[in-house]
Structure 1
Amino acid sequence: MANAESESARLSNAESDATTPRNPETGGKTTPGNRLPERLSPQLATPVEEPPTGEWRYEVQFHGYRLLTRIEHGEVRLYNRNHQDWTDRLKLHADALAGLNLGDSWLDGELVLLDETGHSDFAALRQAFDISRTVDMVYFLFDAPFLNGVDLRQAPVEERRAALKKALNNNASKRLRFSESFSASQHDMFESAIALSLDSVVGKRQGSPYVSRRSDDWVKLRCRLRQAFVIVGFTRPQGKRSGFGALLLAVNGPTGLVYAGRVGTGFSQVQIKQLHEQLCTQQRDTPPLAEPLNAAQGRGVQWVEPTLTCEVEFTEWTRDNQVLQAIFLGLPPDTPASKVVREQPLPIKPATPKRQRRHKASAAKVDGVTITHPDRVVDSVSGVQKAELAQYYLDIAPWILPHLKLRPVALLRAPDGIGEDLFFQKHADRLEIPHIKQLDPQLDPGHAALMEIDDIHALVGAAQMGTVELHTWTATHDRIETPDLFVLDLDPDPSLPWSAMIEATGMTLAILDELGLQAFLKTSGGKGMHVIVPVARSEGWDTTKAFAKAISQFLTRQMPERITATMGPKNRVGKIFVDYLRNARGASTVAAYSVRARPGLPVSVPIARDELQSLRNAQQWDIYTALERARGLGADPWEGYNHRQRITARMWEQLDAQKPTD
């Protein structure tokens, strides 16, 4: 298994690099000290093509790191957008925030490094962060979802910002600043931004609340467009210029690379020299484009292999789909050529009155199913209510039901919300749930009947009974003694960086490749990744579990300093536990597209293998973005999943393991 061993070595090297009364002043709710949320997901802006109508104010679009501040009993903690704790890395900023003497609060902002013109420079910020030079970094604060013990999330954005600005009046630190805003009419928006030398702005709808998800109440508007392109060729230099004249650009289309124009400005002499030397090693005789260029476009072009990408700023796309007034910005470090497509901002939707949530409603209908207490908040971080969760399961039904049908299902129920008591229900004895099918009691002797969710009504009915998570067996109830898949659950020590999880998942895939087994990936919606391997129904529970264990132990032998096959927190310190125990009879794993009972209500989402490297974390999607992703998928990320594979004697030998005897 040479490839797997090579992957192991790479992983080893990588490690070394590596009710409450209203507050009369703000309209918010006072928050007892012990009710400040432990975690808060940031509100995200929606890209749009043009300034929206209505009442908006605009702020600078900073190019930096999103940073949220949590203050409780005077203790300041700083978190990035993935809730990694950066307090120790930003002690100067934490001290400055402590000097404000604020009560319990959550503050939102952006950490930036400014250049000599006063604009944020992300490349310089990243470099400074890598060498732990934080002294010149500036934390621009722009929102206060909680401030001095008051929950302001439902207060209008202009009131939240006014309260934040007032709280910063006594700030004496150069490392903290308030992000000022400006107003402009829809007609004058671009002119105003250009006058301020802004390449992009964030607009915030006046009167809007703070929500922990992407929202059209916040919009991102580029005054100049910017995106990555694939370099497919270059032209001869003109005049005194050496190296090359311009780069030919392309994006991936349905049938291959599509020509997107040229960029000939924005290069330094050093960049021209270095890039020309690199491109000369990748020359080819024919254009790597799906459609040939006309004679004028292709004249004097030296074609290159389409492996390098560059980031370009430009004013617009022309009618023939080429960039206009392009400026070279640099070479992005982590943008594979295969992922570069034309970015499409969302069109502006007409402003519509916000739907008012029901107050103290006793019941609601979701697809004909009665939802009692529809306004009950399931998760305080996202503010999602019970009826909204039921609606998610209704909307996601076409994608989740294929993973539920025929399989015994277990339910993680949170009748009073995920911050209260949770119940894991595997059988139908505790509570009869509307529309859920009860299976033959003989499938699990000595227990009440197992359950199955096989249609939309059962799915919504489960949500009505407080279900948040749906877990399934690795066998179907019609052939319950022979599993048709096994699961490897990669569960990391929380102290490990996400890059370690990416590497360990790659290592697992490499071993499965060597075995000749096709595997499928999904985010856990928690901390790690799930690797799913479909198998033929030829082996029983004990054999299938033993095979999964053999893979886990093989991984441990390859990478003992990073991976463990032994359960328990003390065995997982600094390591990733490859959990094979989910393959025992009666065990289960959270289903694809199931919500997780965690702050923010993340979702377990299937991904294609080539999406792994760009994955940001295991909670990348929530009930809003997971549904948006599912609806927008052009191809099934689990194509080939229905193919079942046999576990062979040769595979046992490769793993240096013995198949259990009957």
Structure 2
Amino acid sequence: MAKAESEYARLSDAALDPASAPQPPGKTALPDRLLPQLATPVEQPPAGEWRYEVKFDGYRLLARIEGGEVRLFNRNQLDWTDRLKLHADALAELNLDNSWLDGELVLLDDTGHSDFAALRQAFEIGRTVDMVYFLFDAPFLNGADLRQAPVEERRAALKKALSNNGNKRVRFSEAFSASQGDIFESANALALDGVVGKRLGSPYESRRSPDWVKLKCRLRQAFVIVGFTRPQGKRHGFGALLLAVNGPSGLVYAGRVSSGFSQSHIKQLHEQLCTLERDASPLAEPLNGTRSRSVKWVEPTQVCDVEFTEWTRDGLVNQAVFLGLPHDRPSGTIIREQPMPIKAEPTKPKYRGKTRTVEVAGVKITHPERVIDSVSGVHKDELARYYADIAPWILPHLKQRPVALLRAPDGIGEEQFFQKHADRLEIPHIKQLDPALDPGHAALMEIDDVPSLVSAAQMGTVELHTWTATHDRIESPDLFVLDLDPDPSLPWSAMIEATRMTLSLLDELGLQAFLKTSGGKGMHIIVPLARNEGWDVTKAFAKAISQFMTRQMPKQITATMGPKNRVGKIFLDYLRNSRGASTVVAYSVRARPGLPVSVPIARAELDGLRNAQQWDIYTALERAKGLGADPWEGYSHRQRITARMWEQLDAQKPGD
């Protein structure tokens, strides 16, 4: 660490010198969008040379500065500039240009620690005057693209750029020195809740990276409230809350929390919980007599944030402290959060000379260094590895279905084309189906194993689209799709409302539906069917639903395609149910900036969804691996379109 400190001091003076800092020649075009680098949770400080910073408990905030204009974006790319005018003005005073700055918006308490509960409350009432924007990185600075520069150089350049800053609302996030063995001791001495470590020499990557790690001095996560105990002593209301998390078989008991409550918390929570009382425990496994004594059980709909020191061997929280009630966490999504263990990172291959191949799942990837997306910086080999890793989740949705490929051989910023048949370019490992399935065309294709999936990526495929029928019964669709496609000017809340209303209609019809983000702008609703109808009937039924919704919500929804018809509305697209049409498959990457992914979600997650591009190739894989329950449980159940359903939609079945 001493060596690193010396190097850091040297770089602080040299970082902005073009002769010493690794900058591209001339000015670099500033991207319109930049995703933040995210830290990986770890249990122990990793080996190697790291620099540690305070882990702030606030809102992640990125600042884009161009032509004197400052725009502020939260982690989910929502524009918060109008909500944080004081901070935008403070950044404008720095006289920077063509810059992307990364940091955290916090509210400090009297001891100088970040207070997230107070920050959220202040944000809700619009009081931003006391908030502080701590800056810790500069991916772009004064026209220079510093993403590939070592983190210590970027931070030194940022610190120098802030050297004349006199505004208390914008500050530089200082690092502190500690050896690997002393990091927790140092953090505890500073009374920190956690620290963020950054590997010296590492670049800035718009993804969750092992080069940034976060260590919690105390653990923190959300829990489902399943009951409460009677108060003792002078306390009124309740004594403790019983906590649970979702597991494979249902709710699993996770212990109790009895401290951290104010009197107002106790009163408010007690009133809410009394309205949710139930006779039986909602837990998958009953508690023993001692733990269940004096417990009043409640419906598992309320969620709370809790801080604690550790998980005990029997899966209970230790020394738990109540923090608050989050507003955006459906109870069905709460699982036990597992820190990732530190693993030795494989050395990235160096691409030299003419030998430009790597191997993924036994498939040779040529030009692995090719950038597929300039926003995220994802290379071709990384995209291939995503498809290899996500195979257990995506292959069940691909098998036996004709597949169409959206290919971008030179990256999504260059020419793209849609390939539905095997005539344009034969791809190794991809199965060619019987040409009789689609008369007059070359053979349709199928992807049914990992080598064919990776081979598609090798040949420049970014997106995978499937038919709504399987090739063994090509004339009988086994599902239909409703694609909610919004006018870009609409707020995300309009999409949530339209999705919820469409689901309600399907409920009334007696049809079970399943949700996934499109990875683009909207949502996809999938309804499994028994294969007893043909293409015309299935498409007509989907159209009848779209038209019914249009009659019910004429100001919000349209069944007519075209931008002019969609102004201020959501197009409920039923056209993907024609023979030969296709829809992007679950877990497919989308050819859009940041490489978002189309992700299946449980219905309970809808209200907490932030946008249709919530997951990328890193977070989608992380989510899939951490799922405790299948969000599409019951998807294998097939349903019939009945005469009664046509009547309810005031529509007529073709041929009747």
TM-score w.r.t. the length of structure 1 is: 0.89
Q: Using a 3 Å threshold, how does the CA distance of structure 1 residues 275 and 611 change in structure 2: closer, same or farther?
A: closer
**Cα distance between partner residues in 1 of 2:249 and 2:390:** 30
Aligned partner (choices 351, 358, 378) of residue 358 of structure 1: 351
Q: Describe the superposition over 1:485-535 as per-residue Cα deviations: whole angstroms up to 9, x where unpaired.
A: 211111122333333322322222211111111222222111211111122
**2:404 — aligned with what?**
410
Is the deviation greater in 652-661 or in 249-258?
249-258
Code of the residue aligned with 1:450 in structure 2: it is: L
1:525 aligns with 2:519: yes
Code of the residue aligned with 2:525 in structure 1: it is: V
Q: Using a 3 Å threshold, how does the CA distance of structure 1 residues 364 and 229 change in structure 2: closer, same or farther?
A: closer
1:27 aligns with 2:22: yes
**Cα distance between partner residues in 2 of 1:31 and 1:443:** 55
Code of the residue aligned with 2:89 in structure 1: it is: D
1:399 aligns with 2:407: no
**Cα distance between partner residues in 2 of 1:454 and 1:516:** 32
1:80 aligns with 2:82: no
Deviation at 1:277, TM superposition (A): 3.9
Q: Describe the superposition over 1:593-627 as per-residue Cα deviations: whole angstroms up to 9, x where unpaired.
A: 21111112122122233332333322222222323
Q: Describe the superposition over 1:535-575 as per-residue Cα deviations: whole angstroms up to 9, x where unpaired.
A: 23333322221211111121222222222222222332332
**Cα distance between partner residues in 1 of 2:456 and 2:250:** 44
**Cα distance between partner residues in 1 of 2:366 and 2:154:** 33
Q: Using a 3 Å threshold, how does the CA distance of structure 1 residues 559 and 60 change in structure 2: closer, same or farther?
A: farther
Aligned partner (choices 497, 509, 512) of residue 503 of structure 1: 497
CA contact (8 A) 1:475 1:485 kept: yes
**1:638 — aligned with what?**
632
Code of the residue aligned with 1:27 in structure 2: it is: P
Q: Using a 3 Å threshold, how does the CA distance of structure 1 residues 318 and 473 change in structure 2: closer, same or farther?
A: closer
Is the deviation greater in 435-444 or in 36-45?
435-444
Stretches of structure 2 that go unaligned for 5 or more consecutive residues are 1-16
**1:538 — aligned with what?**
532
CA contact (8 A) 2:330 2:607 kept: no
Is the deviation greater in 642-651 or in 126-135?
126-135
**Cα distance between partner residues in 2 of 1:205 and 1:605:** 31
Aligned partner (choices 419, 424, 430) of residue 424 of structure 2: 430
1:216 aligns with 2:210: yes
SS at match of 1:610: helix
1:127 aligns with 2:151: no
Is the deviation greater in 437-446 or in 575-584?
437-446
1:161 aligns with 2:155: yes
**Cα distance between partner residues in 1 of 2:438 and 2:220:** 58
Deviation at 1:262, TM superposition (A): 3.4
**1:625 — aligned with what?**
619
Code of the residue aligned with 1:25 in structure 2: it is: S
Deviation at 1:294, TM superposition (A): 5.5
**Cα distance between partner residues in 1 of 2:234 and 2:446:** 74
Summarize the alignment of residues 196-207 of structure 1 with structure 2, pairs less than 5 Å apart.
Answer: 196-207=190-201
**2:549 — aligned with what?**
555
Deviation at 1:259, TM superposition (A): 4.2
Summarize the alignment of residues 252-401 of structure 1 with structure 2, pairs less than 5 Å apart.
Answer: 252-283=246-277, 289=283, 297=291, 301-349=295-343, 351-352=344-345, 354-359=347-352, 361-401=355-395
SS at match of 1:270: helix
**2:131 — aligned with what?**
137
**2:596 — aligned with what?**
602
**Cα distance between partner residues in 1 of 2:249 and 2:639:** 31
Is the deviation greater in 129-138 or in 209-218?
129-138
**Cα distance between partner residues in 2 of 1:642 and 1:304:** 32
**Cα distance between partner residues in 1 of 2:311 and 2:393:** 35
Deviation at 1:577, TM superposition (A): 1.5
**1:60 — aligned with what?**
54
**Cα distance between partner residues in 1 of 2:360 and 2:261:** 57
Aligned partner (choices 145, 170, 175) of residue 169 of structure 2: 175
Code of the residue aligned with 1:142 in structure 2: it is: F
Aligned partner (choices 486, 511, 532) of residue 480 of structure 2: 486
1:654 aligns with 2:648: yes
Deviation at 1:404, TM superposition (A): 2.5
SS at match of 2:323: strand
Q: Using a 3 Å threshold, how does the CA distance of structure 1 residues 310 and 445 change in structure 2: closer, same or farther?
A: closer
Q: Using a 3 Å threshold, how does the CA distance of structure 1 residues 278 and 37 change in structure 2: closer, same or farther?
A: closer
Q: Using a 3 Å threshold, how does the CA distance of structure 1 residues 520 and 207 change in structure 2: closer, same or farther?
A: same
Deviation at 1:100, TM superposition (A): 1.9
Code of the residue aligned with 1:107 in structure 2: it is: L
Q: Using a 3 Å threshold, how does the CA distance of structure 1 residues 317 and 613 change in structure 2: closer, same or farther?
A: same
**Cα distance between partner residues in 2 of 1:31 and 1:157:** 21
Is the deviation greater in 56-65 or in 226-235?
226-235
Q: Using a 3 Å threshold, how does the CA distance of structure 1 residues 295 and 449 change in structure 2: closer, same or farther?
A: closer
Identity %: 80
Deviation at 1:91, TM superposition (A): 2.8
**Cα distance between partner residues in 2 of 1:642 and 1:48:** 37
**Cα distance between partner residues in 2 of 1:291 and 1:465:** 50
SS at match of 1:187: helix
Q: Using a 3 Å threshold, how does the CA distance of structure 1 residues 439 and 251 change in structure 2: closer, same or farther?
A: closer
**1:14 — aligned with what?**
none
Q: How many residues align?
A: 639
Q: Using a 3 Å threshold, how does the CA distance of structure 1 residues 30 and 557 change in structure 2: closer, same or farther?
A: farther
**Cα distance between partner residues in 2 of 1:431 and 1:585:** 23
Stretches of structure 1 that go unaligned for 5 or more consecutive residues are 1-21
**1:11 — aligned with what?**
none
Q: Using a 3 Å threshold, how does the CA distance of structure 1 residues 76 and 364 change in structure 2: closer, same or farther?
A: same
Q: Describe the superposition over 1:19-53 as per-residue Cα deviations: whole angstroms up to 9, x where unpaired.
A: xxx954322434644x3222211111112223333
1:193 aligns with 2:219: no
**Cα distance between partner residues in 1 of 2:458 and 2:229:** 64
**1:616 — aligned with what?**
610
Deviation at 1:293, TM superposition (A): 5.1
Q: Describe the superposition over 1:135-186 as per-residue Cα deviations: whole angstroms up to 9, x where unpaired.
A: 3332211111111222211211111111111111222322211111112223
**1:460 — aligned with what?**
454
CA contact (8 A) 1:515 1:651 kept: yes
Summarize the alignment of residues 565-604 of structure 1 with structure 2, pairs less than 5 Å apart.
Answer: 565-604=559-598
**Cα distance between partner residues in 2 of 1:337 and 1:370:** 44
Is the deviation greater in 488-497 or in 288-297?
288-297
Is the deviation greater in 448-457 or in 60-69?
448-457
CA contact (8 A) 1:23 1:29 kept: no
Deviation at 1:417, TM superposition (A): 0.7
1:91 aligns with 2:82: no
CA contact (8 A) 1:23 1:150 kept: no
CA contact (8 A) 1:407 1:452 kept: yes
**1:45 — aligned with what?**
39
**Cα distance between partner residues in 2 of 1:464 and 1:353:** 21
